[in-house]
Structure 1
Amino acid sequence: MKKILSAASALVALCLTAYGSFAQPGIDEMNQARQQLSSSFFSALDCALVMAALFGITGAVKIYHNWQMGKPRIDSDIAAWFYAAFFMVLAGMFLRAIFGI
Structure 2
Amino acid sequence: MKQLSNLRRSLLIAGLLALRITATLAQSAQGIDQATSEVQSYVDPIANLIIAIGAVVGLIGGIRVYIKWQSGDQDTQKALMGWFGACLFLILVGVVIRAFFG
Paired residues, what number?
A: 89
- RMSD after superposition: 3.5
TM-score, reference length from structure 2: 0.62
Per the TM alignment, residue 57 of structure 1 is displaced from its structure 2 partner at its CA by 0.7
> Runs of at least 4 residues of structure 1 off by over 6 A?
none
Structure with greater helix share of residues? 2
Question: What TM-score comes out, normalization by structure 1 length?
Answer: 0.63
Deviation at 1:44, TM superposition (A): 2.5
Structure 1, 20-29 or 69-78: larger mean CA deviation: 20-29
Instruction: Confirm or deny: 8 A CA contact 2:47 2:94 kept in the other structure.
Output: yes
What one-letter code is carried by the residue in structure 1 that aligns with 2:48?
A: D
Deviations 1:43-72 (A, max 9, x none): 232112211110111001100101111102
Structure 1 unmatched runs, 5+: 1-8
Gaps of 5+ in 2: 1-10
* Structure number with larger C-alpha Rg: 2
Residue of 49, 58, 61 corresponding to 2:60:
58
Letter in 1 for 2:61: G
